[in-house]
A and B are shown apart, each in its own frame.
Chain A
Amino acid sequence: MGAISTASLPDIVFMLLFFFMVVTVMRETELEVELVLPQASELTRLEKKHLIDYVNIGPPIDKEKYGTEPKIQLDDQFAGVTEIQPWIIENRKKVLEVEIPKMTTSLKVDQDTKMGIVTAVKQQLREINALKINYSTTRRSRTGAE
């Protein structure tokens, strides 16, 4: 058998490359808070990414500048609790009206955060009728299961 020509190898690799460039999404936002998600077993996978708003809560990565207290990150900047409702309203404008009730707010909260700040965020969401929420977690098996 003669030597196999590898002349087309770069072509194949470029095809793979284009595939990844098209299918995947560049990470939109730089995470500014430390996030270790809790583990849970009763999970649902979220579909329809364009209908999900992400709220990150955790201690800032840059502790010298921002301190150690947990902060809320909406999209790519820190925000206070009072800025959540306007942010939700802005996100609703980007979506078809029929789809607004299907919008979900995914809360990605560091596991050591105290509930006070999370409860405050939830109260804000309730007031503006953004009732579908998701507590983002990683997966583990059910307690007591083999």
Chain B
Amino acid sequence: MARREVPEINAGSMADIAFLLLIFFLVTTTMDTDEGILRQLPPPVPEDIIVPPVKERNVYIVLVNAQDQLLVEGQYLRINDLKNGAKEFLLGDGVFADFALDEKVPQREWVRKAASSAMLDQAKAYVNGAKDDKIRESYQKEVEKWERKLKTIELVGEYKELPSSALISMQNDNGTSYDMYIQVQNELESAVNELRDELSLEKFGVTFYDLEQLANDPEAKDTYRDKMYAVREIYPQRISEAEPKNVGTY
């Protein structure tokens, strides 16, 4: 029998098959990076803790009801105006100068070089004289705190700081929509970030976001990190949520 020629397989459509498989994988797999608002939840508070009263002017109260309406410092406010309201609160009566005293905003206190140096020396003395490790640790934190303040003065000049009890507090209802909750959190955080950007541009010529990127670079010089801390020192992010009530079972 004559040997039949084995017909060659036409490989022209191999490319088509390969393309189809490729498109399949492109469509069904994901390289997605998750992004969102990063938050640190507060640790749970035991029920019998008594919260010390705070001066009304030092707390910026934001309430959201089940109809997604905002009551900010006792006034109805639209979501688009929340950022400016929070910025006003955080500015207080001025950071580098004394503005007219408004009873509704916190009164910032001057951080002076001489006084801070004195406090630093005192804290260092306590560290040296500390009797045990625990006490030494807590005084060491004091030392770091005053060193941080002096570094800030060095970088931006003498400034006024927010009282330590000053914060922005949000309370939402169980019926508030998640979207409104996120918008409020976003606007409050954007208030802090905008103030930080403005300060950072004015003093260091870069936005705060860029400053953070520079500071987080492992090969960065320490000055970027110090500058970042300085901006955070002047505009700390203190956005907290009131303890939720009536949390049902789901």
- Judge if A5 is at the interface, Cβ distance under 8 Å: no
Please name all residues of chain A whose beta carbon is closer than 8 Å to the beta carbon of B83 when the two chains form the complex.
143-144
Interface string of B8-28 (1 = CB under 8 A from A): 000100110111011001101
Q: Provide the bound-state CA to CA distance between A108 and B153, in Å.
A: 42
Task: Give the interface size class of chain B.
Answer: 35 or more
Question: Which residues of chain B come closer than 8 Å to A133, judged between CB atoms?
Answer: 38-41
A119 and B174 contacting across the interface, CB-CB below 8 Å: yes
The answer, among B44, B179, B189, B249, for a CB contact under 8 Å with A38, is B179
Contact mask for chain A residues 122-134; partner B; CB cutoff 8 A; 1 contact, 0 none: 1101110111111
B53 near A: Cβ within 8 Å? no
Find chain A residues with CB under 8 A from B25 CB.
Answer: 17, 20-21, 24
Q: Which residues of A contact B41 (CB under 8 A)?
A: 122, 125-126, 130-133
The docked-state distance in angstroms from the alpha carbon of A125 to that of B28 is 32
- Contact A42 B247, beta carbon cutoff 8 Å: no
Q: Size of chain A's interface in residues, with CB distance under 8 A?
A: 61
Is B73 among interface residues, defined by CB-CB distance under 8 A? no
Interface residues of B in 171-192 (CB under 8 A from A): 172-179, 181-183, 185-187, 189-190
Q: Report yes or no: A134 in contact with B38, Cβ–Cβ below 8 A.
A: yes
Beta-carbon contact of A112 and B179 below 8 Å: yes
In contact, A118 and B178 (Cβ under 8 angstroms): yes
Q: Within 8 Å CB of B36, what residues of A?
A: 40, 43-44, 46, 106, 134-137
Beta-carbon contacts under 8 Å, B133-176 to A: 172-176
Bitwise, A57-97 to B at CB < 8 A (1) or not (0) is 00000000000000010000000110000000000000000
Min distance, Cβ B47 to any Cβ of chain A, angstroms = 13
Residue-by-residue, is A99-130 near B (CB-CB < 8 Å gives 1, otherwise 0)? 00000101001111111111110110111011
What 1/0 flags go to A1-25 for Cβ under 8 Å of B?
A: 0000011011001101100110111
Given contacts A46-B33, A113-B177, whether A38 and B182 have CB atoms under 8 Å apart is: yes
B44 touches which one: A111, A114, A126, A135 (CB < 8 A)?
A: A126
- Closest-CB distance, A59 to chain B (whole angstroms): 12
Q: Are B40 and A131 in contact (CB under 8 A)?
A: yes
How distant is B154 from chain A, measured CB to nearest CB, in Å? 29
Assess the B179–A111 pair: CB atoms within 8 A: yes
Chain A 32-56 interface residues, beta-carbon cutoff 8 Å to B: 38, 40-46, 49, 52, 54
- Choose among A54, A110, A129 the residue that contacts B178 (Cβ–Cβ < 8 A): A110
Measured CB to CB, the nearest residue on chain A to B31 is: A24
- In Å, the complex CA distance between A122 and B174 comes to 13
Q: Is the CB of B249 within 8 A of A44?
A: no
The interface residues of chain A lying within 8 Å CB-to-CB of B38 are: 44, 46, 104, 132-134
List the interface of chain A (C-beta within 8 A of B): 6-7, 9-10, 13-14, 16-17, 20-21, 23-27, 38, 40-46, 49, 52, 54, 72, 80-81, 104, 106, 109-120, 122-123, 125-127, 129-137, 139, 142-144
Of all A-B residue pairs in the complex, the 9 with the closest CB atoms, nearest first, are A116-B174, A24-B29, A13-B18, A111-B179, A136-B36, A40-B186, A10-B14, A42-B189, A38-B182
Q: A16-B22, A126-B44 are in contact. List 18 more A-B contacts (CB 8 A).
A: A13-B18, A13-B19, A14-B18, A23-B31, A24-B31, A25-B29, A27-B29, A40-B36, A42-B37, A106-B36, A111-B177, A114-B176, A115-B172, A115-B178, A133-B41, A134-B38, A135-B39, A144-B83
